[in-house]
């Protein structure tokens, strides 16, 4: 169980959940436990682990480290970010209502519109920039509010603390979930802002090496942990021990990586903002962002995520990149670029996409930790190519 000590973020990332004394052999690095089953002293008399789906030492180390980094009490990991989303739906009953921000990852929108709806879970999508939208959308059967902030891909912000205060005052029973994938717990801790659950696609920045698909939910609440722990086992949405060991290793450098992502991201955003072939740059830590004041109040920094509206041919631009890789996903050490309208957000109905502004001029960048000058030079040459 993590202790919410006053240790620094990097100290917690390196030591929380990793105590060598938890193993008889005292390995400093937690062992990778691949066994799917564990010898018992007698029928139903085990030493903490019985079957890999129900619990695993490698998973346990990661979950404790995640909880400590979030100033939470419990961490639970799942087979993917959408697996975590699926697990969180087990907190709801048929007929319940969810209020979700209108700009979220395409797969999350698809899940709510085409999967949760089959369980008779109703979903309303509202503009997350305006707190009143969330409050006004609350109904008698509302049981969950799903916030992504910053959002994917438009980098809109929700005033998490105010939404929670406004909603919880009248309806303390409503679960507040924050998908913290874009900010990470280094720049933003939703539980400290009053959220019930901080949720992640660990696939992204938290693992940060583009070699694991995983999700997580962190909470302080015993009742939520009990329900999600049951779901994790009973629905079997668990990750492999090997993937848990990889993510656990990645967390050790999260602080360093996020600092570099932020440094490179800001340099790229400022370069794009002054470029004649760029119509508009969206980056929460640029003073030009409409919610800049909220960004610097609510977060201690911003990752490498940038979106911008391109004046030229987006397909030519993306195919001309040499260091940025044209691919879906984000948050890895490598720089990625994509066209949400036909890639990550293609599953959102066109009318909704157009209304949001997710059109073929909108390009999303995940700025990596390569040498800053190389990234800017690559963007510059590709922008020139896009006008030929
Ligand atoms: C794959 C991409 N996003 C996944 C994602 C997910 C889903 O995570 P998965 O690990 O891919 O299942 C949840 N929340 C956010 C904010 C996300 O961005 C993408 O945007 O390229």
Q: Please write down the HEC assignment for all residues of 328-358.
A: CCCCCCCCEEECCCCCCCCCCCHHHHHHHCC
* 82 Cα nearest atom in ligand 1: 12
String of DSSP letters for 170-236: H-TTSEEEEE-TTTHHHH--TTTTT-SEEEEETTTTTT-SS----EEEEES-HHHHHHHHHHHHHS-
State the Cα–Cα distance between residues 131 and 298, nearest whole angstrom. 14
Q: Ligand 1: which atom is nearest the Cα of residue 213?
A: 10
Distance 6 CA to ligand 1 centre (A): 31
Atom 2 (ligand 1) nearest CA: 329
In whole angstroms, what is the distance from residue 180 CA to residue 178 CA? 6
Ligand 1 centre distance from Cα of residue 130 (Å)? 24
pLDDT in tens, 266-275: 999 999 998 9
> Which residue pairs, CB below 8 angstroms and at least 24 apart, start in 17-25?
17/60, 17/61, 17/62, 17/63, 17/64, 17/65, 17/67, 17/68, 17/248, 18/61, 18/65, 18/248
Please report the atom of ligand 1 found closest to the CA of residue 329.
21
- Residue 74 C-alpha from the chain's centroid: 17
Q: Give the per-residue pLDDT at 387.
A: 86
**Which pLDDT value is given to residue 6?**
84
Query: Structure pTM?
Result: 0.97
Contact 111, 156 (CB under 8 A): no
The rounded average pLDDT for each run of 10 residues, N- to C-terminus, in the chain (388 residues) is: 71 98 96 98 97 98 98 98 98 98 97 96 96 96 98 98 96 98 98 98 98 98 98 98 98 98 98 96 98 98 98 96 98 98 95 96 98 98 93
- Residues with C-beta less than 6 Å from any ligand 1 atom: 80-82, 105, 107-108, 148, 152, 179, 181-182, 201, 203, 213, 215, 328-330, 344
How large is the C-alpha radius of gyration of the chain? 21
Distance CA 377, CA 388 (A): 17
Q: Which residue's C-alpha comes closest to atom 10 of ligand 1?
A: 81
pLDDT of residue 290: 97
Question: In 3D, which of 254, 133, 130, 127 has the Cα closest to residue 200?
Answer: 254
**Rounded Cα gap, residues 161 and 144, in angstroms:** 16
Count other Cβ atoms within 10 Å, centred on residue 44: 7
For ligand 1, atom 21, the nearest C-alpha belongs to: 329
Q: Ligand 1, residues 153, 203, 246, 366: which to mutate, most atoms within 8 A of Cβ?
A: 203
Helices (H) and strands (E) in the chain, counts: 14, 12
Q: Could you give the residue numbers annotated as active site? A: 53, 105, 179, 204
Name the residue at shortest CA distance from atom 15 of ligand 1. 105
In terms of Cα–Cα distance, which of 326, 340, 320 is closest to 109?
340
Helix (H, G, I), strand (E, B) or coil at 26: coil
Task: Give the pLDDT score at 1.
Answer: 43
The pLDDT value recorded for residue 2 is 46
Query: Which residue's C-alpha comes closest to atom 1 of ligand 1?
Result: 329
| CB of 319 closer than 8 Å to CB of 326 | yes
Distance 83 CA to ligand 1 centre (A): 11
Look up residue 33 and give its two tokens: 């436990």
Q: φ, ψ for residue 147 (rounded to 5)?
A: -110, 130
Question: Which atom of ligand 1 lies at the shortest distance from residue 148's CA?
Answer: 16
What is the arrangement of strands in the sheet containing 278-282, beginning at the earlier edge strand? Answer: 278-282, 305-310, 362-366, 336-338, 325-326
7 Cα: distance to centroid of ligand 1 (angstroms): 30
Q: Are 291 and 284 in contact (CB under 8 A)?
A: yes
Instruction: Measure 346 CA to ligand 1 centroid, in angstroms.
Output: 13
106-114 and 81-89 helices, crossing angle to 10°: 30
Contact between residue 316 and residue 385 where contact means Cβ atoms under 8 Å apart: yes
Where are the strands (E) in the chain, listed by range?
A: 74-78, 97-101, 122-126, 142-148, 175-179, 197-201, 215-219, 278-282, 305-310, 325-326, 336-338, 362-366
pLDDT value of position 297: 98
Cis peptide upstream of residue 159 (ω within 30 degrees of 0): no
Quick one: 270 exposed, middle or buried, by C-beta within 10 A (0-12, 13-18, 19+)? middle
Residue nearest to atom 9 of ligand 1 (CA): 81
Per-residue pLDDT at 5: 55
pLDDT in tens, 349-385: 999 999 999 999 999 999 999 999 999 999 999 999 9
Please tell me the distance between residue 244's alpha carbon and the centre of ligand 1 in angstroms. 18
What spacing in Å lies between the alpha carbon of 19 and ligand 1's midpoint?
A: 31
Q: How far apart are alpha carbons 186 and 171 in whole angstroms?
A: 29
What 111-114 contacts at long range (C-beta under 8 Å, 24+ apart), as own/partner pairs, is 111/82, 111/85, 111/86, 112/146
Give nearest CA residue, ligand 1 atom 8: 81
């Amino acid at each position: 169980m993590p202790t919410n000590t006053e240790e620094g973020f990097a100290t917690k990332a390196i030591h929380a959940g990793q105590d060598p004394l938890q193993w008889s052999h005292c390995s400093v690095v937690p062992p990778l436990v691949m066994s799917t089953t564990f010898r018992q002293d007698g029928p139903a008399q085990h030493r903490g682990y019985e079957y890999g789906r129900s619990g695993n030492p490698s998973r346990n180390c990661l979950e404790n480290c995640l909880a400590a980094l979030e100033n939470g009490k419990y961490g639970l990991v799942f087979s993917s970010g959408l697996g975590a989303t699926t697990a969180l739906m087990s907190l709801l009953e048929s007929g319940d209502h969810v209020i979700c921000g209108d700009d979220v990852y395409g797969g999350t929108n698809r899940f709510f519109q085409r999967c949760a709806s089959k369980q008779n879970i109703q979903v309303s999508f509202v503009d997350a920039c305006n707190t009143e939208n969330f409050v006004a959308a609350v109904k008698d059967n509302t049981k969950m509010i799903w916030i992504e902030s910053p959002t994917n891909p438009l980098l809109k912000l929700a005033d998490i603390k105010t939404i929670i205060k406004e909603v919880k005052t009248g309806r303390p029973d409503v679960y507040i979930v924050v998908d913290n994938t874009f900010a990470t717990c280094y720049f933003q801790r939703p539980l400290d802002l009053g959220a019930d659950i901080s949720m992640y696609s660990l696939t992204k920045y938290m693992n940060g090496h583009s070699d694991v698909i995983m999700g997580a939910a962190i909470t302080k609440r015993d009742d939520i942990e009990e329900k999600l722990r049951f779901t994790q086992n009973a629905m079997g949405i668990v990750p492999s021990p090997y993937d848990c060991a990889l993510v656990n290793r990645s967390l050790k450098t999260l602080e360093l990586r996020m600092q570099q992502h932020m440094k490179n991201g800001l340099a790229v955003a400022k370069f794009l903002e002054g470029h004649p072939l760029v119509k508009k740059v969206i980056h929460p830590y640029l003073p030009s962002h409409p919610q800049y004041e909220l960004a610097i109040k609510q977060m201690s920094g911003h990752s490498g995520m940038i979106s911008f509206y391109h004046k030229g041919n987006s397909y030519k631009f993306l195919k001309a990149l040499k260091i940025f890789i044209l691919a879906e996903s984000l948050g890895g050490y490598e720089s990625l670029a994509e066209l949400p309208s036909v890639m990550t957000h293609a599953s959102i109905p066109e009318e909704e996409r157009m209304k949001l502004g997710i059109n073929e001029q909108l390009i999303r960048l995940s700025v990596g930790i390569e040498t800053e000058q190389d990234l800017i030079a690559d963007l510059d040459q590709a922008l020139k190519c896009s006008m030929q």
